[in-house]
Each structure stands twice: as C-alpha cells, then as structure tokens.
Chain A
Amino acid sequence: MLAVIGQSLVNGLMQGALVALPALGLTLIFSVLGFVNFSVAAQMTVGAYAGWLVNSQLQWPFAATLPVAFLAAGLVGVLTDRIALAPVRAHSGGQAPLMVAVVSIALNLAIESALRFSFGNDLQSYDVPVTRDFRFAGLLLGPQELLNVAIALLAAVALAVFFTRTRLGKAMRAVADNADLARLKGIMPNRLANLATFIAMGLAGLGGALLVVTTNVDPSTGSRLVLIVFAASVVGGLTSVPGAVLGALLVGIAGELSLLVISPVYKSVTAFLAILLVLLIRPNGLFAGISAVRR
C-alpha cells in the first residue's frame, strides 16, 4: 500500500510540476493586469504546436524546441491580448475584470479554432523516443518526465529571481501592488502589461510543450487542462508565485491520490473540490501572503 501511495505521489508531482507553468502564467497576469486570462489554455497548445513544428518537422533537438515554444506562445499571447483584450480593458470601466475574463474565453476558442484550421484534428507526437521507466526505491520513474519536472521547476525559479532581483521584475510588482502609485513613480503600466503577458503566455507555452512531449498534441490539448490550471492558481491565491507552484503540485497529487478511494471517472472532481474548499475556507488561497507578486 505504501508503495502505491508513493507512486501516486510521484505521478502527481510530475503532473503538477508541468501544470505549475501555465498556473504561474495565469497568476502573473492576474497580479499585474487584474483579470483571469483563460486564453492561457490555447497558448499552451500554441507552445505545444510550435515545439512540435521545430522538433518533429524541422528535426531540431528537444532542448532547442523549448525556447521556441516559449517565444511563440509569448508572442501570440501579446498579439492577441493587444487585439482582443486590451480594447475591452480600456473601455469597460468598473466591470472590466469580469468582462475581460469573458472575452478571454472567446479568445481561447478563437485561437483553438485557428489551430484546428491550421493543423487539423490529428494527433501529433514529438520526435522524442518513449523509454521504459526505471525503478528507484520501489518507484517507477521516467527519465523524460524527470527532465520535464526539472525544466519546469527551473523556469519557476527563474521567474522568482526575475521578480526579486531585476528592476523590471520589481517594477512589475509595483504595478501589481498599486498601478496608480507606480505610474507616479514613472513606471509605464502599459509596457509592463505587454511584458507580463509575454512572460505569462511564454510560460504557458513552455508548459504545454513539456506536457505533450510524453503524450500527443491536438488542438484541444490546452483546453482539456484549463480547469486544473485554474484550480492550481486559485488554490495558490491567484497572486502568489510560490502559491501557484504549490497549488499545482497539490492539485496534481490530490488528483492521483484520489484514485485510491474513488473511481477514476471522477478524477476531475478533485480539482473542483479544491477550488470550492479554498473559496469557502481561505478565499485568498492556501498560500496567500507568502511572496505574493502583489504585496
């Protein structure tokens, strides 16, 4: 039984670490721009397809595909934000966060449809060999999965360093904290909005690419995960960088552990329950207050 629990923990951590990247993106945009951008799901798919194009079609090595996934999703993210979301932000007054969130759902559908139009419905696989797991301390571990987790955590640490050590990062936190005050200090919230969107969607794209390396990409890849990404972000308090990562790990582990007691058909229920419990008990998130982007 202990081995079973251990294996579930490992599986959950591996899933959670990858979900952490888009959850970080969602958190970053919410912190700096003040709304939940659901198009993060489609940007995961954009990153996944960008990586697939250069890896499988152009035969680039796996490592080289990751910056491409980041860049592609980041750029598409900024572009679509400028076209679809920025005008709504500028004109919808007091209801802005809700309005923009709703428009971002539409944007998500539009991007997904554009991907479907371009790449079709077929499943696409990365040109990365599938290897048998190795056994370590009674647990089955996959080399590619371990590498993915390491890359995801590295990206999260890089983001934390960016926020605490760089001028731009600090400026972003200032805007997140109080946009008007930041403007008085000479920080341009608009330019920072673009940068925040670029980084956030880039992270989502990177996460998307890592998620599909071991599986497949199709136009709905990101949409299938949007609930769990959102749950991770909410559990983490929506404004905390470590919160998003811990939230993702928690939701991932909860999903896998739940299989020990409930039928696998109801796995997604754990994500809903996580959102519900957090909103009922700690509406600011389980990890609110620790290193929030917005203090």
Chain B
Amino acid sequence: MLGASPRFAQAQVQDASPIRIGLIIPLTGATSQFGASMGAAAKVAADEINAAGGVHGRKVEILIEDDQSNPEAAVRAAHKLIDIDKVVAIGGSYASAVTSAIAPLCWESGTVLLTSSGADSITKLPHQGYIFRTSPTVTLQGTRVGEFAVELGGKNMFFLGPQTPFAQSYIDIISAIFGKAGGKGAGLIYEDKKTSYRSEVDQALRANPDTIVLGGYVPDTSVVLKDLYRAGYTGKRIGFSFGVNPAILPAVTGEVGEGTYSLVPSASEKSDAYRNLLAKLNRSSLDSYSCQVFDHVALTALALANAAPGDPSGAVVRDNVRAISQDTAGSLIDSVEAALKVLSAKRKVNYDGPSGPLDFAENGDVKGVFFRYEQIQQGKLALVKVA
C-alpha cells in the first residue's frame, strides 16, 4: 500500500527518522579491492528501498565506515555505529580478522552482523543467531580448491599464505584431500606486509611441490607470484578470489601470473537481480562480495518490513531474516522493491538476491553456493567452469 502510493509514502517519511544500517567495509589497505563497489552496491539497495517508500514508511540510511583492512580500526568503527548511530545491523565485514573482531560487539549489543568473510570459526562463535554469513566458508572453499588441484593432477601441494584466522584450516583441509588422493600436502604461514618473500618461497620449493596454493590477499600474493617466478617454479598455482582477482593483474603481467587459477564465489549471474544491479552501477560484471553487500542491506530492510511496525532492532531483524529469505511458502521474488510491496500487502516472500538464493543454515552459514573457476590467460581472468 505504501509502495503503491509514493506521495503518501513521502508524507510519512518526513516525520519519521530513518532506519540506520551500518557498513564496515575495506576502503583502504590490503583487502580494499572490492571496498568501493561494496559501498556503491549498498547505496543502490538503499535507493531501491527508499524509492519503494522505505520500511513501514521510514527511509533507510546507510552509514559507511572504513575498516582499513585492520581489525583494530574495525572495532572503533563498530563502536561508533552501535553506540552512537544506533544501527540495527552491520553489513559488509569482509576480512575474517575484521569480522572476528567486531562479532562480539554485535551480538552483545543485539545488532545483526551480515558478513562476507569465510573463516569457519566466525559462525561457531556464541552469536545467539545474530550472525548471517553470505559467503562460502573456508571449509567449502578449501575443499573445492583441494579437489580441483587433485583433478588437475596435483600430487604434492604446498600452501603459502599470511597469518589469518583461516590459514591453518586451509593447510589442514587441502592437505587432507591430497592425502586421500594418494598425494601429500604441507604449508607455511608468513607475515603479511613484507616487500619480499624470497626465503619463504625458497622454503616452500624445498618440498618440491607441483601445486602451490596461494592463500593471501592481493598485495602479498603479487609479491609471492613474482618470487615464485624468479625462483624458477613452473608448477600449478591456485589462489582464491580475495588474492587472485582483477586487481592483481597489472602487478603480475606476462609469465609471472599466466596460468594461475582462482576460485571465485559466484554471484547469481543469470538472475534478474544481478542484471538489475549491473545496470544501476553501469558495469559489465560485478564481484560476488559487492552483490552480497547489496543483499546485506536488502535482507535487513525486508526482515524489518516483515515484522509489525514498531521499534526496529537487531533482534527483529534476526528473527525475520529467514522468514523473508527461505520460506518455501513465500513467492519467489528477486527485486527488493517488489518484495517490499508484497510484504506490505501482508503476503509471504522468498527473496533471492544478486548474490544467490540466500538460504541460511541454523548456524547462520549460507547454503547452496556456486563457484567460478577462473584462470589468468593472456593477462586476463578467463572462466574455466562454474560448479
């Protein structure tokens, strides 16, 4: 009703304060490759929600904070968003170290945390249902990389990655998969922010690996790739989307990066939701993480719209997310605006966003994720397969 009558909606909005949704995203630092597009995607979501009349007549306001790829800065940002701005939910939250640091602040204050981080440990925290993860877990990503490497004929794997909450899990998971296939695996965790990894690379190559898994972010991965090349390594290299993505290409030109594989969580690329987001951002493609942040805002707004009008809070969001994202009785809708209209007509909604179907397990992990397997071919990331 509100959505169908914009003039009425506007009249309502003028005397209602906006509902605030916080975003903690990496705009600077080692993990900042997707930060800007995450922010832009979130704004598109907010614009769509507000164009549809907002949530129960109240506009949605996005507050963006830069985590500087640094957990300590993220904690300061989270305190500001929770204590001063009184946000109902915090979205974005990309690096696992950042998410792990701010998670306790969120559940203690009853604020929903929507994250695009991978570390399994995050949803194992006692989060009382306040954490929703839209990104595939490390276990899932590690398993896929391990299986893919074995598929490519790998027998001896070595993992090189910086100290993160997920580095050791990767080593264990991928080594186990190699072990089962009759091969072996090992790994080395290095210090990030170094200008050279020569001795680390030398140490890795002493194990004579035929497959090197790159577990780092873009700055360190680019240096490791160069040092691997210099050291004469010619075997397979497989990275993850947070390390091997378009941002690394200018830094690893020619033979240095050529042939390196990357496992990329796939956005819902065939969906109208994805195409709509692309059009609004005026882009030809978009990473999964930015699509996820769009959905962080969308899920928050739809969850609040599903509840009775009243005092919006993190608890209300928490209790209503699954009702609007995975209720099989609800009509499948992949547009926020349309979903808001259906909800205001007191009908049920099953929202699918540009990032995927958004069905959450009991612990908050998203289910049913697809991956793109990409490879650097002639200096560009080419699609090998989707699975």
Contacts and interface: CB of A to CB of B under 8 A. Distances in A.
B219 A123 contact: yes
Contacts of B230: 130-133, 140, 142, 214
Given A124-B250, A131-B230, A215-B223, A11 B194 contact: no
Contacts of A11: 196, 198-199, 202
B189 A264 contact: yes
Interface string B184-214: 0000111101111011101100100000000
Contacts of B33: 121
Interface stretch (A153-161, A184-192, A216-224): A216-224
Given A130-B229, A215-B226, A123 B195 contact: no
A194 interface: no
A125 interface: yes
A211 interface: yes
Contacts of B251: 123-125, 216
Contact of A259 (B29, B193, B200, B219): B200
Contacts of A259: 199-200, 203
15 contacts: A4-B206, A11-B202, A121-B28, A124-B250, A125-B251, A132-B232, A140-B232, A214-B196, A220-B29, A225-B195, A259-B200, A264-B191, A265-B189, A267-B190, A268-B191
Contacts of B315: none
A123 B257 CA distance: 14
A121 to B, nearest CB: 5
Interface string B244-270: 000110110111100000000000000
B188 to A, nearest CB: 6
A264 B188 contact: yes
B32 interface: yes
Nearest to B163: A265
Given A11-B202, A129-B254, A133-B231, A216 B194 contact: no
Interface residues of B, number: 36
Interface of B: 28-29, 32-33, 163, 188-191, 193-196, 198-200, 202-203, 206, 218-219, 222-223, 226, 229-232, 247-248, 250-251, 253-256
Nearest to B226: A130
Interface residues of A, number: 38
A121 B247 CA distance: 10
A212 B194 CA distance: 11
A94 B206 CA distance: 55
A122 B200 contact: no
Nearest to A214: B226
Given A125-B251, A264-B190, A268-B191, A15 B226 contact: no
A140 B246 CA distance: 31
A14 B193 CA distance: 18
Nearest to B188: A264
A142 B33 CA distance: 30
Nearest to A127: B253
